[in-house]
Amino acid sequence: MKEREFFTAKNLVNIDVESVKKIFTFRGKTAAKPEERAFLLKDCAEKLLRYYDGNFMNLLRRSDFLIEDILRRLKIFKAYEDPLMKKSFLLLKILKRQGFVKGRLKFPVDSVLVRFAISSGILIPPEEIMEKINAGIMLSNEETNILREQTQKSLMLVSEKAGIEPDVIDDLLWAFGRESNPENSLLSERVDKKDLRALSSL
């Protein structure tokens, strides 16, 4: 079928901006940054052809379908070089639910998850960091990394004690996180705090 042939590395390596605009336009609205999307699609196609004979399944096979190895291999693609690995984890979440990967996912920790961890009380940051947060002072890269590492450990403990996979909990946390106020470090009053405590104590 024509549609199946479109989503191949051999075809996407020649994609241009106009094609992206045409494909990603719905009801008169075109997806943002078509130039960037075209560049990323071309980059993925080029590297799939160069390293994996144009077949993403070859990447999975050479990784032995192991999550950590897949994450390492994804870093060569511009679309997946984000240090927080949000897109990589999203891809792996989809692959995991289709039965294509082995191993345990971790949490792609960003500001939403850090804010939830602090607001729910499952993470108590060092006093000097908490003082800066309350005062609205920007944290250093080192302090930000400390919070991310502590949030990762805290959420993995919640996952282990609850017996629920991290990717499932991540979905739940994002449902809560969407209700947060981006101008404050605490979750919006629209979120029921009793439900928050219940979720964090699973």
Query: 59 and 11, same structural domain?
Result: yes
How many domains does the chain fold into? 2
Query: 78 and 115, same structural domain?
Result: no
pLDDT of residue 194: 59
Element (H, E) at 30: strand 29-30
Which domain, by its residues, includes 73? 2-97
Query: 126 and 58, same structural domain?
Result: no
Query: 6 and 68, same structural domain?
Result: yes
Assigned domain for 84 exists: yes
Query: Is residue 1 very low, low, confident or very high in pLDDT (cuts 50, 70, 90)?
Result: very low
Query: Is residue 179 very low, low, confident or very high in pLDDT (cuts 50, 70, 90)?
Result: low
What are the residues facing 29 on neighbouring strands? 26
Query: 38 and 6, same structural domain?
Result: yes
Assigned domain for 104 exists: no
Assigned domain for 159 exists: yes
Query: 148 and 70, same structural domain?
Result: no
Look up residue 80 and give its DSSP letter.
G
Q: Is pLDDT of 160 > 70?
A: yes
Assigned domain for 103 exists: no
Q: What backbone phi and psi angles, to 5 degrees, belong to 71?
A: -60, -40
Q: Which of 43-57, 118-132, 185-199 has the lowest mean pLDDT?
A: 185-199
Assigned domain for 192 exists: yes
Q: Is pLDDT of 37 > 60?
A: yes
The C-alpha angle with vertex 191 and arms to 190 and 193, in degrees rounded to 5, equals 130
Assigned domain for 66 exists: yes
Strand, helix or coil for residue 26:
strand
> pTM here?
0.75
User: What percentage of residues in the chain have a pLDDT greater than 90?
Assistant: 61
Query: 120 and 86, same structural domain?
Result: no
Q: Are 55 and 48 in contact (CB under 8 A)?
A: yes
Average pLDDT in the chain:
86
Query: 184 and 134, same structural domain?
Result: yes
